[in-house]
Structure 1
Amino acid sequence: MNEHQPRDPQQTPEAQPAAVAAPGVSRTRRSLLRAGAIGAPALVALKPASVMACSCKLPSGFTVSGNLSRGPKNCADPGLKASAWRTTNCQNSTSPFRYFYGKTVFSITRDTLVSSLGLNLGPYSNDTTVSSWLAKADTSDQGLLMACYLQAVAVGNDTTWPTKQRFVDMWNLGVLGGGYTPPAQTKPWGRDQVIGYLKFLTQQVPV
């Protein structure tokens, strides 16, 4: 099959997360300490740099304060940023400009309406397409959400990365609505908690 022939990414399990180079341990430790991403006692459990790319990604293992909760967690490589999804590595350069991840080509194109994905526009009604959301800054609400959503289309299984419906709910309920309550948690997340989590997923934890 041609590499750019559309097919349902949920039915093509051969798609694998792209390799993401992990930063040095010392640099990562300093960054995480400044960001408050993990507590000091957890630092002793950090593995060498080759394992650092495996970060805990499920919302059930992430507290609203931005700290990782204790206990067993599932891991996956950091997700791609919005700017990465806009490159020819993840987007066909000719019409219909489909997005792809590895060998998996999506039915989603640059002109796909975000509303057709189940996402509400709210105050963001000036930008209606996937490409217009990705064109925002990597740390913008829209850029973060769309980058994580596309990652979910490729690899989301609620084991190593949340499914796309999780991100729809986070956006509609947490960013635009009264609150999103993650699985295994009781306190709902508002916009700040959701955006903080999306930054964590894309390895953009604020300093």
Structure 2
Amino acid sequence: MNKIENQQPSSSAPQETSAVAAPVASGSRRRLLRGGLVAAPTLLALTTTPVLACNCKLPSGFTASGNFSQTGSYNCAAPGTKPTSWKTMVDAQGKFNNTGVSKTTTFASVFGGTDTTTFYALFCLTSANNDARALAAAVYLQSIVNGGYQFPYMSLVQKMWKDTEGSGRFTAVTAPVVTWTRADVVVYFKYLTGLSI
């Protein structure tokens, strides 16, 4: 049988087509598979942010892209944890996972002012995902975990809150310069926690 398969096909068209079709199909498959395997590392290299890291816009980028005028579809690629989720993320020592922050930490001790509500109590509120203080606390904790590249540092989170006290304004001086009210900061915190804006 091998002798017949290795011989040149006869002049009949059906044999010629079948003899040529099999190697082409097999070769095409091999080329596609090889091409796919070569492309896989290339595609993986295009993703610069680790899977567990947050990939959110910093204040200047957030405003420059027009996200304040958009709704619903502009969230972080890997957002921080929502306020209601933080209440379940407490270790045996009573600290929020990977932060070193006690669940009894008061809002005032981190953000100033006189509000002695604990972070944990804020996260237990029925409306925690819409409460400005709970959002600030959640973003603060996430900034301890992921602060840096494409997620604000905790000092920036604190500054945004403190600067917008009363009728104050937060100004980010990186280009483009943005000036926000407390309402704008809360919208940004919702964005950072993956909640709709």
Fold shared per TM-score above 0.5: yes
Which residue number in structure 1 is paired with residue 161 of structure 2? 171
Deviations 1:107-166 (A, max 9, x none): 21111223332x0236xx3x4322122223112101111111100011101x12100011
Which residue number in structure 1 is paired with residue 96 of structure 2? 99
How many Å apart are 1:54 and its aligned residue?
Answer: 7.1
Q: Distance in 2 between matches of 1:83 and 1:191?
A: 21
Query: Which structure is larger by alpha-carbon Rg, 1 or 2?
Result: 2
Q: Distance in 2 between matches of 1:177 and 1:91?
A: 35
Q: Distance in 2 between matches of 1:54 and 1:111?
A: 26
After superposition, the Cα gap between the structure-2 partners of 1:204 and 1:161, relative to the gap in structure 1 and judged at 3 Å, is: same
Structure 2, unaligned stretches of length 5 or more? 1-50, 70-75
Deviations 1:50-69 (A, max 9, x none): x9x9753211201186349x
Q: Which has the higher helix share?
A: 2
Alpha-carbon RMSD across the aligned residues, in angstroms, is: 2.8
Q: Distance in 2 between matches of 1:80 and 1:59?
A: 18
The alignment-based identity, stated in percent, is 30
- SS of the equivalent of 2:179 reads coil
Which residue number in structure 2 is paired with residue 132 of structure 1? 121
- Is the 2:60–2:178 contact (alpha carbons within 8 Å) kept by the matching residues of 1? no
Which residue number in structure 2 is paired with residue 121 of structure 1? 113
Q: Does 2:87 correspond to 1:86? A: yes
Deviations 1:75-122 (A, max 9, x none): 7611110111111xx212x4x41111xxx3x321111223332x0236
Counting only pairs closer than 5 Å after superposition, residues 56-205 of structure 1 correspond to structure 2 as: 56-63=56-63, 66-67=67-68, 77-87=78-88, 90-92=89-91, 94=92, 96-100=93-97, 104=98, 106-117=99-110, 119-121=111-113, 125=115, 127-136=116-125, 137-157=128-148, 159-176=149-166, 178-184=168-174, 185-205=176-196
TM-score normalised by L of structure 2: 0.60
Q: How many residues align?
A: 137
